[in-house]
Amino acid sequence: MKKYVLFYKSAADVQAKAPVYFAAHRARWDEFRAQKTLLMIGPFADRREGAMSIFTSYEAAEEFARSDPFVLNGVVDEWLIREWHEAIADS
């Protein structure tokens, strides 16, 4: 089953900026969860290394990134979307 993974590269000052914009970022992800287009989201263990999220469509992943308060306010330096073929999934 095809999915789309959105990768975020954290800005150098992520530790300072992320808390400021987290509530707005969380609200955005809640919208996409309600639409059932965002399946998973979270930072890597070392938050300075960024984060990833998994979407049901390329369009949803792109819309999320382009309007995410983390992107708009410089918490994230770069983002990219990769198509991913899920091999094992619980039904």
Report pLDDT digits (tens) over 5-27. Answer: 999 999 999 999 999 999 999 99
pLDDT above 80 (res 89):
no
**Counted domains in the chain:** 1
* Domain boundaries, position 28: 2-85
Confidence class for position 48, pLDDT limits 50, 70, 90: confident
Within a domain: 90: no
pLDDT above 90 (res 47):
no
Q: Can you give the pTM of this predicted structure? A: 0.92
Tell me the torsion sign for CA atoms 37, 43, 44, 50: positive
pLDDT above 80 (res 55):
yes
> Can you tell me the distance from the alpha carbon of 24 to that of 4, in angstroms, rounded to the nearest whole number?
22
Within a domain: 69: yes
Q: What CATH number should be reported for the domain holding residue 70?
A: 3.30.70.1060
pLDDT above 70 (res 91):
no
* Residue that is written with structure tokens 């091999």 in the block: 87
Within a domain: 13: yes
Phi first, then psi: give them for residue 29, nearest 5 degrees.
Answer: -70, -30
Within a domain: 38: yes
